[in-house]
A and B are shown apart, each in its own frame.
Chain A
Amino acid sequence: MASAQLQVQYTDLRQQSETAQLGMWVFIATEVLFFGSLIWAYVVYRTAYPLQFRLAGHDSVILLGSINQVILLTSSLTMVLAIRAARAQRQRQLLDLLLLTALLGVAFLGVKGYEYSLDAASHAVPVLDFLFKPGYRPPAEMFWTFYFIATGLHALHLTIGIVLVLILAARAARGAFSRGYDAPLEVIGLYWSFVDTVWLFLFACIYPLGRSLS
């Protein structure tokens, strides 16, 4: 398979590669506003109902959230190392690192799924069977609404990322990438790190709340 086809609108591969990367940066700018508007709405309500949000946040499972943070940060490391391996022409290592990246993504989703089951068991799912403990008012349920929307959207983005990394791995297995051609790795790597960064913000919005409550 031709690893690096020059499309007609470009003068050389370097221009084509830089353009693809700029495209991803611009897309990420769009995504920042997409998640940003959700976090904006969250901040408005958290400011309006500080106590209720702390009560509700206290019920979140901070241990699993933290484990997932570590998993995702590690996966960004393996993604970057994969790009380095491609530049060093180490094909075997490149493939292993890409598969490890995807595996860490799947591990995140597994932990997240387990966490969702714990949330459901403690009646934290809004509308379905939300349990108002003593002192809880509707904004506590709203916290969980934001929790499920934000983490659900993040999981969707991560799932797309896993598929993309697996496609990269399939191409890497056929020797598609080299020192001279690593543009798709860079582009998908940017996306991967963005999804990782989103989790940093979501973690800060969700898990630390109400930890000082007994």
Chain B
Amino acid sequence: MSTSAADLGSYIGSENTLSSWLLTRDHKRIALLFFASITVFFFVGGFAATLIRLHLVNPAGTLLQKEVYNRVFTMHGIVMVWFFLIPSIPATLGNFLLPLMIGARDLAFPRLNLFSWYLFNASGLLALYFLLVGGVDTGWTFYTPYSTLFANGHVIPAVVAVFINGFSTIATALNFVVTTHKLRAPGMTWFRLPLFVWAIYATSIIMLLATPVLAMTLALVALERLAGLGIFDPRLGGDPLLFQHMFWFYSHPAVYIMILPAMGVVSEIITCFARRPVFGYQGMCFALVAIAVIGFFVWGHHMFTTGISLTSAVVFSLMSFIVAVPSAIKVFNWTATLHNARIHFEAPMLYALGFIGLFTLGGLTGLVLATLSSDIHLQDTYFVVAHFHFIMVGGTVTAYFGGLHYWWPKITGRHYPEMWGRAAAILMFAGFSVTFFPQFIVGYLGMPRRYYTYPAEWQIWNVLSSAGASILALGYLLPLGYLPWSLCYGRRAEANPWGATGLEWQTASPPPTHNFEHTPRVTRGPYGYDPRDGSFVAQNGASRG
């Protein structure tokens, strides 16, 4: 990257030795380190997805052997969940933006932040190791007794990798929670925090309280498998259902770990490009917290067909409907924010609008699955696969790319090429829809997930899905080309190219090492946009017509 006078003194331009990056304590540099790591895993997991879609073009399933197929979809799940989706927005955009948005000079514990990145990479290397030596065939869920007694893959390295990964998650989340409590700039009250900060805060609370349960659960699985201890083994008095309870006590809240940061990103983008304050700001804050809290009491909806009692099934079903209420509030409020607005359709906004549509469909089909009677028909079918991909890929990944484009000028000091950005957004939306909508249909028809063959009459839906996946892959590969290109050739970005109100836009692009020349004083709420003429007043009182 070429340096100029503008870059000197910025966090990127100031010093560029290898150790200045690998031993950095600057949250912005650590965010970029995380970005590099998770990008690798995004494409590792994407490669596995490509193999799956290629394999399923043919109903007889001749591309991969059945054992290999099991390992490929397990690898796809493990890598995408723990090595991409969980850290995706928090560890990159969250790391970069949280201190900037609250007017702080860094996170509370910078060394812990760096340590978290090393933990992540240690777990990632272990994950790549068990991938190379042959992988795991348990599915990402590690269900017992298969994982402890029968699976002949490398379950222990996989479990240890996820275990260490959890420490990285906890370290980052702890940093975010403490920073939000203690390092807000003067005047930055709780109800002046941008929604992205609220989202990262609520996410961090879930990470802190759910991840240790996963750690314990996986430790017990490893002990049972290694030492033959009786914990979940029914022959020794154990209960495999207990494993499922403990696993989903983490893994359902983990879904909200993935989606809440995406909601935060989308809230920032929509209000900026609609030039209107977020409709019902406080309601949006409470909705985020409500999702985080209620999300801890819905895990049983993964277990309706396992023989849990009718009473608990009814309660878990009811709670799952209740958690949909704050999610719906968010969708309505985004829509209300757009109402009567003069909308600017730059690339970040295209991603954000795509998010609303795909998330809504993903959320509504979640209600179909939360309904006891229909779940019995749809359990373990492609309907479930389609549902959670709409949330995690249509939702989280779309918002991740939206946020990446929105804050790209701030992070790099360069503009991404706008037309390419829009093209990728449209390709991702179209490719995603063609890939996963057919899976709702084929799942409703009864195609089970994780099978490597299927009856020939379902081939049309699978071919459609695989064709869509190729469009989606193109959409994901485009930014891999034009974003690095823009680092060298992109137009230089001014401090506040979008005319946005957050504190992160009131400092240079890219920001100086300690973020602000002077600690900002916050005088007003986060979204001082004027819908009449598109002017704004930033949180520190700066304004522009």
Contact = CB atoms under 8 A, between A and B. Distances in A.
A-B complex is real: yes
A126 B229 contact: yes
A122 interface: no
Interface residues of A, number: 36
Contacts of A23: 108-109, 174, 178
A141 interface: yes
Interface string B97-137: 00100001111111000000000000000000000000000
Given A9-B106, A19-B182, A34-B212, A48 B239 contact: yes
Interface in A1-57: 7-11, 15, 18-19, 22-23, 26-27, 29-31, 33-34, 36-38, 40-41, 44-45, 48-49, 52
A31 B229 CA distance: 23
A195 B230 CA distance: 26
B177 to A, nearest CB: 5
B238 A142 contact: yes
Residues of B contacting A: mostly? helix
Interface stretch (B146-154, B213-221, B408-416, B532-540): B213-221
A19 B178 contact: yes
Given A23-B109, A41-B231, A138-B230, A33 B212 contact: yes
B181 interface: yes
A137 interface: yes
Interface residues of B, number: 41
B177 A26 contact: yes
Given A8-B514, A9-B108, A126-B230, A33 B177 contact: no
Contacts of B181: 22
A40 B236 CA distance: 18
A127 interface: yes
A139 B174 contact: no
A149 interface: yes
B242 interface: yes
A49 B231 CA distance: 13
Contact of B242 (A30, A33, A41, A141): A41
A69 interface: no
A145 interface: yes
B455 to A, nearest CB: 41
A124 to B, nearest CB: 13
Contacts of A44: 239, 242
Contacts of A127: 227-229
A30 B174 contact: yes
B309 to A, nearest CB: 14
Contact of A37 (B170, B217, B230): B217
Given A8-B105, A44-B239, A138-B236, A37 B178 contact: no
A19 B210 CA distance: 23
A179 to B, nearest CB: 22
A169 B210 CA distance: 35
B331 interface: no
A119 B438 CA distance: 60
B351 interface: no
Contacts of B215: 34
A29 B217 contact: no
B213 A33 contact: yes
B518 interface: no
Contacts of B208: 26, 29-30, 33
Contact of B213 (A29, A37, A49, A142): A37
Contacts of B105: 8-9
Given A23-B178, A138-B236, A142-B237, A30 B211 contact: yes
A19 B108 contact: yes
Interface string B216-257: 110010010001111100011111001000100100000000
Given A8-B105, A30-B174, A141 B236 contact: yes
A141 B235 CA distance: 12
A22 to B, nearest CB: 5
A137 B237 contact: yes
A31 B167 CA distance: 12
Contacts of A9: 99, 104-108, 110, 183
Nearest to B104: A9
Contact of A38 (B109, B211, B216, B238): B216
A199 B210 CA distance: 22
The residue in A18, A40, A45, A145 that gathers the most chain B C-beta atoms within 10 A of its C-beta is A145
Nearest to B107: A9
Contacts of A142: 230-231, 236-238
Contacts of A31: 212
A9 B519 CA distance: 10
A40 B243 CA distance: 12
A127 B231 CA distance: 12
B230 A145 contact: yes
A139 B230 CA distance: 8
A19 B112 CA distance: 13
Contacts of A7: 110
A145 B229 contact: yes
Contacts of A139: 237
Given A26-B177, A26-B178, A126-B230, A37 B246 contact: yes
Contacts of B107: 9
Contact of B246 (A10, A41, A126): A41
B15 to A, nearest CB: 16
Contacts of B477: none
B231 A145 contact: yes
Contacts of A138: 230, 235-237
A107 B211 CA distance: 33
B272 to A, nearest CB: 27
A31 B109 CA distance: 19
Contacts of B220: 38, 41, 149
Contact of A33 (B174, B209, B231): B209
Given A9-B106, A22-B181, A138-B235, 13 more contacts: A8-B105, A9-B107, A26-B208, A27-B174, A31-B212, A37-B217, A38-B216, A45-B237, A45-B238, A137-B237, A138-B230, A139-B237, A142-B238
7 contacts: A9-B105, A15-B182, A23-B178, A26-B174, A29-B209, A33-B212, A48-B237
Top 10 A-B pairs, shortest CB-CB distance: A34-B212, A9-B106, A139-B237, A33-B212, A138-B237, A37-B216, A37-B213, A19-B182, A138-B236, A9-B105
Interface of A: 7-11, 15, 18-19, 22-23, 26-27, 29-31, 33-34, 36-38, 40-41, 44-45, 48-49, 52, 126-127, 137-139, 141-142, 145, 149
